[in-house]
Amino acid sequence: MPAPQCFSCHAARAALRRPRSGQALCGPCFCTAFEAEVLHTVLAGRLLPPGAVVAVGASGGKDSTVLAHVLRELAPQLGVSLRLVAVDEGIGGYRDAALAAVRRQAARWDLPLTVVAYADLFGGWTMDAVARSTAGTGRSRACCTFCGVLRRRALEEGARLVGATHIVTGHNADDMAETVLMNFLRGDAGRLARGGGLGSRGEGGALPRCRPLQLASQKEVVLYAHFRRLDYFSEECVYAPEAFRGHARDLLKLLEAARPSAALDLVHSAERLALAPAARPPPPGACSRCGALASRSLCQACALLDGLQRGQPRLAIGKGRGGRDKEGPPGPLPPPPSDPESAPGPAAGECGAACKERCE
Ligand code: SF4
């Protein structure tokens, strides 16, 4: 049976059926519609004001590649300028190839690129060193939990370095729905309370962050990359496979089979969620070491680095959120262990932020 005509231009043959609406569109009309929807998300949510200098968290993966490409198309209408900021976590055999993809994109699109490295920002610690230190196997299940915290900090530092006023990341609707499910499954009211909306306005001196692709499905992100012939890096990070997020992803697939709008419905549910006063987390304060936003005496990044220093790495994602704890004063940060054999024992952490390029 021949493909139907494009619903929009009525000239070309349709090349796809939009997963949610079922609309049959040709490739160019789909890309135009996708860009218009991202523009609407940004304008309706007042995410990026005219004049904003926008740091795009660029990982080389499909989501951040599509985000950078779409924002580059929309930049004249939005009146914003773009900077690519990439984070080098120090993951051997993975990140170098992903960074090569980011460099190609920066050159092709003529966008300035800055790379910030964990090793420079965090006293010599790389993710490989953290993995050795936390598990001794080099493939700890806690890696993504640690990495998600450090990555957030690194992106903030990189954005400040390039004079950005705003940060954007490539999270799509599926990513956000998975996060909502994970927070429900962990009973993490604090994260559920913060998880709604299209971003954060920049509490406590942090730069405002937003997710312009948050209402776009993963399938459509892939289709956009396909029809725009975007060059991106698609290998999975070596530390990702064990992550808890994988269970949420499987669950979401089952839900979408029965209800195609399940991902977007979950995102909207989180936006509208109202917590009872007793369940709300205490208002955040400032980290006693670095001044970043913190719900305890140390922010998560400083607590993590402090734990690595003491040989007792730990994180409290989803645990102990009743109030601020009493952590001792921080000491100087020692260099990471270079010899895997000398690394301390395994961490008790649980992976909570595995990304396949979604950890910004
Ligand atoms: Fe970091 Fe993402 Fe790799 Fe996890 S999957 S270790 S968050 S880069």
Residue 359 Cα to ligand 1 middle (Å) = 6
Which mutation among 95, 133, 143 tests ligand 1's pocket best, with the greatest number of atoms within 8 A of CB?
143
Which atom of ligand 1 lies nearest, measured to the CA of 238? 3
360 residues of the chain, pLDDT tens digit each: 678 899 999 999 999 999 778 899 999 999 999 999 999 999 999 999 999 999 999 999 999 999 999 999 999 999 999 999 999 999 998 888 899 999 999 999 999 999 999 999 998 999 998 888 876 544 455 678 788 889 999 999 999 999 999 999 999 999 999 988 988 888 877 777 765 566 677 667 789 999 999 999 999 999 999 999 999 998 888 887 666 788 889 999 999 899 888 998 998 888 877 666 666 667 778 888 888 878 788 888 888 888 887 776 655 444 433 333 333 433 444 445 443 333 333 222 222 333 533 444
Ligand 1 site, residue 148, Cβ cutoff 6 A: yes
Residue 7 Cα to ligand 1 middle (Å) = 40
Residue 86: in which H helix or E strand, if any?
strand 81-88
d(CA 329, CA 323) in angstroms, rounded, equals 18
Residue 15 Cα to ligand 1 middle (Å) = 34
d(CA 307, CA 313) in angstroms, rounded, equals 4
d(CA 230, CA 49) in angstroms, rounded, equals 27
d(CA 287, CA 330) in angstroms, rounded, equals 11
Cβ proximity of 232 and 225 under 8 Å: yes
Ligand 1 site, residue 353, Cβ cutoff 6 A: yes
d(CA 263, CA 179) in angstroms, rounded, equals 10
